[in-house]
Chain A
Amino acid sequence: MRQLVVIGNGMVGHRLVEAIRDRDTDGRWNIVVLGEEPRPAYDRVALSSYFDGATEEDLRLGDLGDRVTLRSGERATDIDRSAKKVTTSTGDVLGYDTLVLATGSYPFVPPLPGHDLPGCHVYRTIEDLDAITDSARAATTGVVIGGGLLGLEAANALRLLGVDTHVVELAPWLMPAQIDEGGGALLGRLIDELGVTVHTGTGTSRIEAGDDGRPAAVRLGEERIDADMVVFSVGIRPRDEIARAAGLEIGERGGVVIDDACRTSDPDIYAVGEVACHAGTVYGLIAPGNAMAEVVADRLVGGTAAFTGADTSTKLKLLGVDVASFGDAHGRTEGALDVVVNDAAGRRYAKLVVSDDASTLLGGVLVGDASAYAALRPLVGHELPGDPLALISPAGAEGGGVGAGALPDDAQICSCNAVTKGDLTHAIAGGACDVAALKGCTTAGTSCGSCVPMLKQLLEASGVEQSSALCEHFTHSRAELLEIVRATGIGTFSELIDRHGTGRGCDICKPAVASILASLGGGHILEGEQAALQDTNDHFLANLQRNGTYSVVPRIPGGEITPDKLIVIGEVARDFGLYTKITGGQRIDLFGARVEQLPAIWARLVDAGFESGHAYGKALRTVKSCVGTTWCRYGVQDSVRMAIDLELRYRGLRSPHKIKAAVSGCARECAEARGKDFGVIATDKGWNLYVGGNGGFTPRHAELLASDLDDATLIRYIDRFLMFYIRTADRLQRTSTWIENLEGGLDHLRAVVVDDSLGIAADLERDMAAHVAAYADEWRGVLEDPDKLARFASFANAPQAPDPTISFATERDQPVPAGPVALGMPAPPVGDARPAPNGSAPVEV
């Protein structure tokens, strides 16, 4: 086995190791990674979300697996190229066959007077962010020096920390590297309106200290800003010192020189990411770094991939303002022409850079509204499909003005992961039929997500049936049908299909409509015609099992149960000969009940205070919990009480798919809340709310929606989240795929739920309040209604005769299905079989 040492465990170093691991299927490489930071690699691009409540764990990148040794908190101090050895800060010496430098860069701090005062920061690592947070506690005003991309992120962070924020940029406008003067002017104005004071065309001359030795003011020439803290964000410098010391060739303005194979002047040493200098350029973006990582990985397994420069396009939302830049944004190509729409009143600026004959798109800038980005960026270098002005004028902006059909096959749709239109159409032809499937098999749209609208367009353009029709009986989607029912007040399936569908329905649309009627408060699910819509589970309020019997699951809110109730369940199971198992959701499942036994079983359970657990419905199932502060030494909140409150609040709520939830009393996460549709994890300040997790075929971790919430806010957000899901999701669409397919994804969901961006929060809460108020136990409803009870018959002509095809064997002292036996064929003679008590005997109701 050959030895690979990677110096640096940032995003690019991490990507490199992942890429090698994926390709090196024969296990040719043994990999050691040296990481200076005391933690596994994390998503530095998303670092700012740390201020929005994301934790270090949320930002963490995937585990590298057991074939890779990560030595975190350990720095490389020396490379001995002749002996092919690396010395580390612990004094260890590691031999290598191949070495990769992924040391990244450091933030440049200009040597101004006062630059090193306590209270002066940079914005690069989690430690930096923690230090900024500390300083902000005592600060009223902060100055960010540098108005580039990262500077604006830092400004937003200060704003979120409640500090009055200024940004100082030497160039005449903000983000000079990415956008032009016109775009910069609008960006400056939009950011000013947000309360961040922008100073452009001015340099900082010094930082003045106060009596406490911390910053008191920042001097900009004549101007003086009172400031308690300063963040420097004026650029990065490659961390090439170890390479210099080892005698590797270094670029004119720093960075380890690499060739197209990403190899340095020593053929056994590669360099990737922000430490590398390729063709005179040091890239400060993640996409080129990732591209280099892929090239090196390919080379290490014998490939011939080459790095030939990278797309530096960017699309960001900075302080809530859309900014995008792509291709030759500054019009440096000879003869390039600009086509500009500068709509100051409409708060949008758009510029396309085109070739001298106006036929080819070279680049562009979008500020204020970057919705056209996904469609325009892949067109760079290609012929324009029409009049460039029409592509960016507000009237032509529908869907970005460019259809996916206009793009050539080699156009990169996802620049983060280098996925072309050809890759995507190939995946679609191979059976990927929705955005989630496309993401899964091509990785397109999985990083910044700006290309998701294009994925949808491609699916449509490829002729994939994107029809949202529920089935042959309705041309509408589930969400549309729900809106129709809401708007018209139609209360029956017959009326709905008469007026808005065709035929008599099927096993797809009927349960979907039943669920919609139930979600909107349609009364008991077995009332009148609704009974005929229900899937067998809902019809018998129990879960159909393989031999035609049903299982019974009483609700045990939060998994908390008294000994008396436990005894009742045990007695019922014993008396009816039911197989008993603890479920994965902290409940008890009683199997093997025949249809005609269900009312008698439930009569006993309801008498003892149990109610329907809705294990049969597309509805809230369980809210799992750990024991929380009541018993646990580590608990910081009362997770049991919260789980019970939530389970009782949402019990019986019908939804597009079943919903599971959990509440953990501390970050140890014993309730596994992040594997649930909504998960709540206690912090010492309140509750963190995660959404969109699930088990099933494609397990997903839930993602953080909001943090440190008090009880009331937590419940309000969950109300909104669930109702918004119920209103807009497709039939049988889990919350995870629903969020993935939402335009804008989790950010959009957060805007709707937390910021009420659609203005519907009150409406959603009202609907949930109506559900909570109207809840009634479905099983009690059956037991109290002779008409409904009469349906629990085995045969119309012999209502209490047991189904002769059902019989049981005994396994581990419990009854299990022995059949179904063929009709008329007696079961084989019984040896020492223990009869299952009451297992097949009729039981009187």
Chain B
Amino acid sequence: MTAPAPTALPAVPTTPDGQWVPACPAERLLPERGVAVLLPCGGQAALFRTHDGTLYALDNIDPFSGAAVMSRGIVGDRAGEPTVASPMLKQVFSLRTGVCLDDPQVRLATHRVREHDGAVQVSARPAGESR
């Protein structure tokens, strides 16, 4: 028995070329604390700024639980590799490559990120996907 499908998603603003989704003003993104970004296709990205100021974005859905929670994970490093740990069952993923360091078979899609006009923007589609 299932409840009705979720209500219609709000239209997600993108850049005029449709390539980039403005996530938030740059100063709103705190170091080592992620935020989730809704993408036009209905997907979600988890956006992070590490302590040294570098921006990263990964798919927001934790592949182990299926819940959209990666943005709520703890950011840190493992042997120097910047990481985020899933808040659900604590598997650790590389922020650079999206590879799960505890189970290298599993990988999260990554998104390109940039700062533009004082806003952080996330690519509308995962890196490597060309459409």
A498, chain B: closest CB distance, angstroms = 11
A825, closest chain B residue (CB): B5
A735, chain B: closest CB distance, angstroms = 23
Q: B3 contacts A535, CB within 8 Å?
A: no
Whether, in the assembled complex, B111 has its beta carbon less than 8 Å from a beta carbon of chain A, the answer is no
Whether, in the assembled complex, A845 has its beta carbon less than 8 Å from a beta carbon of chain B, the answer is no
Chain B's interface size range is 35 or more
A833, closest chain B residue (CB): B1
CA distance A706 to B50 in the complex (A): 50
Within 9-68 of B, Cβ neighbours of A (below 8 Å) are at 9-10, 12-13, 21-24, 28-33, 35-38, 41-44, 47, 50-51, 61, 65-68
Q: Which secondary structure characterizes the binding site on chain B? A: loop
CA distance A803 to B37 in the complex (A): 10
CA distance A504 to B79 in the complex (A): 10
Q: A797 contacts B74, CB within 8 Å?
A: no
Contact of A815 among B3, B9, B51, B82 (CB under 8 A): B3
Q: Which secondary structure characterizes the binding site on chain A? A: loop
Contact of B4 among A797, A805, A806, A827 (CB under 8 A): A827
Tell me which residues across on chain A come within 8 A of B32, comparing CB atoms. Answer: 504, 532
Whether, in the assembled complex, B98 has its beta carbon less than 8 Å from a beta carbon of chain A, the answer is no
Whether, in the assembled complex, A477 has its beta carbon less than 8 Å from a beta carbon of chain B, the answer is no
9-residue interface stretch from A188-196, A389-397, A636-644, A835-843? A835-843
CA distance A304 to B3 in the complex (A): 67
Contact of A796 among B1, B35, B42, B67 (CB under 8 A): B35
Q: B75 contacts A823, CB within 8 Å?
A: no
B105, chain A: closest CB distance, angstroms = 19
Q: A801 contacts B10, CB within 8 Å?
A: yes
B36, closest chain A residue (CB): A795
A805, closest chain B residue (CB): B68
Contact of A804 among B1, B6, B50 (CB under 8 A): B6
Tell me which residues across on chain B come within 8 A of A820, comparing CB atoms. Answer: 61, 65-68
Q: A810 contacts B1, CB within 8 Å?
A: yes
Q: A809 contacts B73, CB within 8 Å?
A: no
A561, chain B: closest CB distance, angstroms = 30
A842, chain B: closest CB distance, angstroms = 8
B42, closest chain A residue (CB): A824
Whether, in the assembled complex, A808 has its beta carbon less than 8 Å from a beta carbon of chain B, the answer is yes
Q: B3 contacts A809, CB within 8 Å?
A: yes
CA distance A548 to B6 in the complex (A): 15
Whether, in the assembled complex, A430 has its beta carbon less than 8 Å from a beta carbon of chain B, the answer is no
Whether, in the assembled complex, B130 has its beta carbon less than 8 Å from a beta carbon of chain A, the answer is no
B78, closest chain A residue (CB): A506
B83, chain A: closest CB distance, angstroms = 7
Tell me which residues across on chain A come within 8 A of B88, comparing CB atoms. Answer: 544, 546, 548
CA distance A794 to B35 in the complex (A): 8
Within 327-359 of A, Cβ neighbours of B (below 8 Å) are at none
CA distance A294 to B39 in the complex (A): 69
Whether, in the assembled complex, B128 has its beta carbon less than 8 Å from a beta carbon of chain A, the answer is no
Known interface pairs A506-B85, A532-B31, A795-B44; A806-B6 also in contact (CB < 8 Å): yes
Q: A827 contacts B10, CB within 8 Å?
A: no
Whether, in the assembled complex, A159 has its beta carbon less than 8 Å from a beta carbon of chain B, the answer is no
Known interface pairs A503-B77, A506-B77, A506-B85; A803-B2 also in contact (CB < 8 Å): no
Q: A472 contacts B78, CB within 8 Å?
A: yes
A158, chain B: closest CB distance, angstroms = 57
Q: A797 contacts B13, CB within 8 Å?
A: yes
Tell me which residues across on chain A come within 8 A of B100, comparing CB atoms. Answer: none
Tell me which residues across on chain A come within 8 A of B96, comparing CB atoms. Answer: none
Most buried by A among B31, B66, B83: B66
Within 799-819 of A, Cβ neighbours of B (below 8 Å) are at 801-811, 815, 818-819
Tell me which residues across on chain B come within 8 A of A533, comparing CB atoms. Answer: 74
Q: A840 contacts B74, CB within 8 Å?
A: no
Tell me which residues across on chain A come within 8 A of B43, comparing CB atoms. Answer: 823-824
CA distance A490 to B42 in the complex (A): 44
Q: A507 contacts B73, CB within 8 Å?
A: yes
Contact of B72 among A539, A809, A826 (CB under 8 A): A539
B11, closest chain A residue (CB): A798
Contact of B9 among A536, A539, A804 (CB under 8 A): A804
CA distance A828 to B2 in the complex (A): 7
Tell me which residues across on chain B come within 8 A of A808, comparing CB atoms. Answer: 3
CA distance A511 to B32 in the complex (A): 13
CA distance A795 to B71 in the complex (A): 10
Q: A810 contacts B3, CB within 8 Å?
A: yes
Known interface pairs A507-B74, A511-B74, A826-B5; A793-B35 also in contact (CB < 8 Å): yes
Closest 3 CB pairs of A and B: A536-B87, A548-B67, A507-B85
Show 18 A/B contacts (Cβ-Cβ < 8 Å), sorted by A.
A472-B78, A510-B74, A536-B73, A544-B88, A548-B69, A794-B36, A794-B38, A795-B35, A795-B36, A797-B22, A801-B10, A804-B42, A807-B2, A810-B3, A824-B43, A830-B2, A833-B3, A833-B4
Which residues from chain A sit less than 8 Å from chain B, CB to CB? 472-473, 494, 503-507, 509-511, 531-533, 535-536, 539-540, 544, 546-548, 790-791, 793-798, 801-811, 815, 818-820, 822-824, 826-828, 830-833, 835-836, 839-842
Apart from A506-B74, A536-B73, list 8 A-B contacts with CB within 8 A: A507-B90, A507-B92, A510-B76, A532-B30, A796-B47, A804-B6, A804-B42, A810-B3
